[in-house]
Amino acid sequence: MKLLSRLSRRRFVGFFLLLGLMITLSIELPQFYAAQNLSNLLLRAVPLLCVALGQMIVILIAGIDLSVGATLSLATAIASHLMVRSIPLAILSILAAGMFIGLINGLGAVKAKINPFVMTFGTSSVLNGVTLYIRPSPGGYIPRVYVNTILAYWGSVPVGPLFILCLVLIVGFWLLYKTTYGRHLYAVGGNEEAARLAGINVAVCKILAYIVCGLFASLAGLYMTARIASGDPAVGGTFVLDSIGAVAVGGTALTGGRGTLWGTLFGVIIFSVLSNIFNLLNVNIYWQYVFKGLIVIGVVGFSQLKERK
């Protein structure tokens, strides 16, 4: 009971939503728990978690990154050209590209003091252009080896994606809760002036947040490359709003300084489970958008209501 009240106090409305959903599903939609479907769910959740984690870090410092989707698409486009030559080279250059994009976003938002919304929206457009130039339509060749490693199965268990999921969670956990950098993130988001007066290099902390976000987005791109086994300039499209939505549903304050890894994880699971259910129920894709939007508004609105009391 104490745990319950604690959870509800911590804006974990998402947790209850998920719980209710799971119970309803087991009664109404037994095929949801089929092994095939669960592994499908996992396959979808991994890239969103990756992107959402980076997004959350930027939102913690009261920023926002609208270029994650474009970074992801660009990553697949680069992969579709470079992977044939050398897989390690492709991976390294994609990760470097992600970090470079983050650096540019960070410099623009922090040093040039361009509003992060505007700055990352701008880079997003630039990246879209570049991606379409190098890969105008889905295609290219991705080596089987790469696809089979990332999406490795053991029987019907997708151990590859599972491994990546755990890795991302562990890295996120350590980064946010165990390192000095994690503490700096919360402090800068919580009160920038106080953080500055405590001797923290605020600018570096913020720029690093964008770099980490870019890195996670390109990592998600590497994963998506394996899933679609090609380069696709449109693959990242839904990730921008999904990641922001998942972070918000997970209880992270868009004003910065507040948010938990578990909240974000819940947000990601809710988003993945919802689209999975809609697919199982054969709900028209257009309606899926409508429902997703309503759920974000509903959950965040509800937790605001609780907060005010």
User: According to CB under 8 A, which residues from 156 to 175 bind another protein?
Assistant: 174
Nearer to another protein, 163 or 174 (CB): 174
198 makes contact with another protein (CB under 8 A): yes
At closest approach, how far in Å is the CB of 244 from another protein?
A: 20
Select from 200, 228, 254, 295 the one that contacts another protein (CB under 8 A): 200
| Range in contact with another protein (rule: CB under 8 A) among 68-76, 96-104, 185-193, 231-239 | 185-193
In the block, residue with structure tokens 């964008």? 210
User: Does residue 9 belong to the site contacting another protein (CB under 8 A)?
Assistant: yes
Within 245-304, the residues that bind another protein by CB under 8 A are 253, 257-258
As measured in angstroms, the least distance from the Cβ of 182 to another protein is 8
Instruction: Examine residue 197 and tell whether it contacts another protein (CB under 8 A).
Output: yes
Q: Say how many C-beta atoms besides its own lie within 10 A of residue 194's C-beta.
A: 11
State how far the Cα of 208 lies from the Cα of 185, in Å rounded to an integer: 10
Tell me how far, at minimum, the Cβ of 177 lies from another protein, in Å: 8
**Alpha carbon of 290 to those of 41, 196, 248, 272, 301: distances in Å?**
20, 42, 17, 15, 16
Give min distance, CB of 188 to another protein, in A. Answer: 9
Nearest to 13 by CA among 294, 293, 248, 277: 248
Backbone angles phi, psi at 175, to 5 degrees: -60, -45
Q: What is the dihedral of CA 284, 289, 291, 294, to 10 degrees?
A: -160
Q: Which of the ranges 102-110, 121-129, 187-195, 220-228 carries the binding residues for another protein, by CB under 8 A?
A: 187-195
Q: Which residues contact 158 (CB under 8 A, 6 or more apart)?
A: 39, 42, 43, 151, 152
Contacts of 47 (CB under 8 A, 6+ apart): 72, 220, 223, 224, 227, 239
| Count of residues that interact with another protein, criterion CB under 8 A | 24
Minimum distance of another protein from residue 119's CB (angstroms): 23
For another protein, which stretch binds (CB under 8 A), given 38-46, 111-119, 191-199, 291-299?
A: 191-199
Question: Who's near 23: CB < 8 A, 6+ residues apart?
Answer: none
Question: Minimum distance between the CB of residue 198 and another protein, rounded to whole angstroms?
Answer: 4
Closest CA to 263 of 279, 251, 275, 280: 251
Q: Which is nearer to another protein, 184 or 227 (CB)?
A: 184
> Contact residues for another protein (CB under 8 A)?
9, 174, 178-181, 183-184, 186-187, 190-191, 193-201, 253, 257-258
